[in-house]
Amino acid sequence: MAECQAKALDKEKEKDKRFRIHNCLMNKYELPPLPYSYDALEPHIDAKTMEIHYTKHHQTYTNNLNASLEKCPQDVQNKDIIEILSDIGSVPSDLKSAINFNGGGFDNHRIFWNNLTPNGGGEPQGSIAEAINSSFGSFSAFKEKFTASTVGIQGSGWGWLVFDPKSSKVDYKSMPNQTSPRTENLIPLLGLMFGNMLIISNIRIKDPTMSMLGGI
């Protein structure tokens, strides 16, 4: 009896050891810092919307990504999120949806914040301008395509300017919810989310008592 208990205790110790090693090696993602203040993009995006979307929405994706990765095999954990999304098929089937959604949400927003700038605007220059002109004919035609296609997204999703390594060209790509273009071996360059952020922002402005901060 004592021998059996000792063996059981040894197994639990080994399990705990593996657990600690497993979690010690896992990449833990943190909310990346905003490159500007919450009010820097006013009047286009008000400070409160920025604060809510960054500290609540993006933080939730970050937390849930870490929680999902804790359940993944170590070979998945040790990869960067870009590599994971680019090889989403390597994620266990029961965790693929969570990693796709939360990993995509984490990476999409990381790109989105850095696409925005208080002193931006105007037409692009250099190689990106040449790439856009080559694919769309002109920057004006690109804007029309991007706007019309992104506004046409049903529900929530993203419109993207992407680079396709196969064709070595840029293109437009819409993606549902938080699914990243990386899952289709495309490199996201410029993204715009469409749907819930603007809807919640308008509701909050019309009725500040609305308690919907977690549902952006």
Tokens of 85: 């999304």
Q: Please report the pLDDT score of residue 109 as a whole number.
A: 97
Q: Are 173 and 186 in contact (CB under 8 A)?
A: yes
180: amino acid identity, one letter? S
Q: Please report the pLDDT score of residue 26 as a whole number.
A: 65
Closest CA to 23 of 92, 83, 69: 69
Report the alpha-carbon distance of residue 166 to residue 148 in Å, rounded. 26
Q: Please report the pLDDT score of residue 153 as a whole number.
A: 87
The CA dihedral of 193, 199, 201, 206, to the nearest 10 degrees, is: 160
DSSP 135: H
Q: Please report the pLDDT score of residue 53 as a whole number.
A: 92
What pTM does this model have?
0.79
Class assignment of domain 2-25+53-116+125-215?
A: alpha beta
Q: Please report the pLDDT score of residue 71 as a whole number.
A: 95
Q: What is the CA radius of gyration of the chain?
A: 21
What are the C-alpha distances in Å from 40 to residues 37, 82, 193, 207? 5, 28, 19, 23
Q: Please report the pLDDT score of residue 17 as a whole number.
A: 41
Contacts of 204 (CB under 8 A, 6+ apart): 48, 49, 52, 210, 212
Report the alpha-carbon distance of residue 45 to residue 205 in Å, rounded. 12
pLDDT tens for each residue of the chain, 216 residues long: 444 444 444 544 454 444 334 444 566 999 999 999 999 999 888 999 999 999 999 999 999 999 999 999 999 998 999 999 999 999 999 999 999 999 999 999 999 999 999 988 889 999 999 999 999 999 999 999 999 999 888 888 999 999 999 999 999 999 999 999 999 999 999 999 987 554 444 434 333 332 222 232
The number of angstroms, rounded, from the C-alpha of 119 to the middle of its chain's C-alpha atoms is: 24
Domain ranges of the chain: 2-25+53-116+125-215
DSSP 79: S
